[in-house]
């Protein structure tokens, strides 16, 4: 793991994991409500179920909490994404299914994703590249899927095109949560999925038709 470590005074690895889980869980709830800056370390400790002193046995600074939270969210998203995208056969149709699955994940985790985007700026200089790397890995999951699908279906796509489509899928998923105040007034998740899938995959359909001619 290239994860840059957050120092803990406590030695027991198992315990560190457990306490950090509690901590992240509490912090996420608070960050959802009031954001990182308006949340105090005391509140985090309380939400985690231990004292302020104990909190600082597992982190060095408040910024560490933010990093741990972002890290955890990414891991969470990625894990669920891996499940959502593990399809046996990769046709254009199953690509639609993958997108739908992804959108559903983003719907469920929308608040967590919101935290990441709004507080990312406050991450320390050292944490940022690590977090960005994780994001790229996720986009790559879509790229792999697209490449496979293009191959299976005999559609030729340049790498740049694959990158752009993957990116657009990724962004459109985030938008559902990120701009929910408007999107979720206009569409149901199903409608949104249908609509966006069409646009996202128009390119692929057209290529297929072209080639079929």
Partner DNA sequence: AATGAATGAGTTTTCATTCAT
Partner DNA sequence: AATGAATGAAAACTCATTCAT
The correct pick among 15, 17, 132, 195 for binding DNA (CB under 7 A) is: 15
Cα–Cα distance measured from residue 113 to residue 145, given in angstroms and rounded to the nearest whole number: 22
Give residues 141-200 in contact with a copy of itself (rule: CB under 8 A): 160-161, 163-165, 167-168, 171-172, 175, 179, 181-183, 186-187, 191, 195-196, 198-200
Cα–Cα distance measured from residue 197 to residue 172, given in angstroms and rounded to the nearest whole number: 9
Is residue 60 at the binding interface for a copy of itself, with CB under 8 A as the rule?
Answer: no
Where does 35-126 have alpha helices with state H?
A: 41-48, 52-58, 62-85, 92-108, 110-119
| Triad 52, 55, 60: Cα angle to 5° | 115
Is residue 206 at the binding interface for a copy of itself, with CB under 8 A as the rule?
Answer: yes
Is residue 124 at the binding interface for DNA, with CB under 7 A as the rule?
Answer: no
Give residues 117-136 in contact with a copy of itself (rule: CB under 8 A): 117-118, 120-122, 132, 135-136
Cα–Cα distance measured from residue 77 to residue 106, given in angstroms and rounded to the nearest whole number: 8
Cα–Cα distance measured from residue 158 to residue 154, given in angstroms and rounded to the nearest whole number: 13
Cα–Cα distance measured from residue 33 to residue 49, given in angstroms and rounded to the nearest whole number: 18
Is residue 21 at the binding interface for DNA, with CB under 7 A as the rule?
Answer: no
Is residue 111 at the binding interface for a copy of itself, with CB under 8 A as the rule?
Answer: no
Cα–Cα distance measured from residue 89 to residue 187, given in angstroms and rounded to the nearest whole number: 30
Site string for DNA, 35-74 (x = CB under 7 A): ---xxxxx-------xxxxx-xx--xxxx-----------
User: Given the complex with DNA, which of 56 and 187 has the nearer CB atom?
Assistant: 56
- Beta carbons within 10 angstroms of residue 70's beta carbon: 25
Contact positions vs DNA (CB under 7 A): 9-12, 15, 19, 38-42, 50-54, 56-57, 60-63
Contact positions vs a copy of itself (CB under 8 A): 35, 37-38, 117-118, 120-122, 132, 135-136, 139, 160-161, 163-165, 167-168, 171-172, 175, 179, 181-183, 186-187, 191, 195-196, 198-200, 202-203, 206
């Amino acid at each position: 793991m290239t994860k840059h470590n957050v120092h803990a005074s406590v030695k027991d690895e198992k315990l560190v994991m457990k306490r950090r889980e509690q901590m992240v869980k509490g912090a996420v709830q608070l960050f959802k409500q009031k954001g990182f800056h308006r949340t105090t370390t005391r509140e985090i400790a309380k939400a985690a179920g231990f004292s302020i002193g104990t909190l600082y046995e597992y982190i060095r600074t408040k910024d560490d909490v933010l990093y741990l939270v972002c890290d955890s969210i990414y891991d969470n998203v990625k894990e669920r994404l891996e499940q959502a995208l593990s399809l046996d056969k990769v046709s254009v149709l199953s690509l639609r299914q993958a997108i739908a699955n992804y959108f559903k994940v983003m719907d469920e985790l929308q608040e967590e994703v919101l935290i990441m985007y709004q507080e990312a700026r406050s991450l320390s200089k050292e944490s940022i590249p690590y977090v960005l790397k994780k994001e790229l890995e996720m986009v790559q999951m879509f790229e792999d899927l697209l490449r496979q699908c293009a191959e299976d279906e005999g559609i030729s796509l340049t790498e740049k095109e694959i990158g752009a489509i993957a990116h657009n899928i990724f962004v459109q998923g985030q938008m559902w949560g990120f701009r929910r105040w408007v999107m979720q007034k206009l569409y149901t998740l199903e409608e949104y999925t249908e609509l966006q899938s069409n646009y996202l995959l128009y390119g692929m359909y057209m290529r297929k038709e072209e080639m079929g001619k």
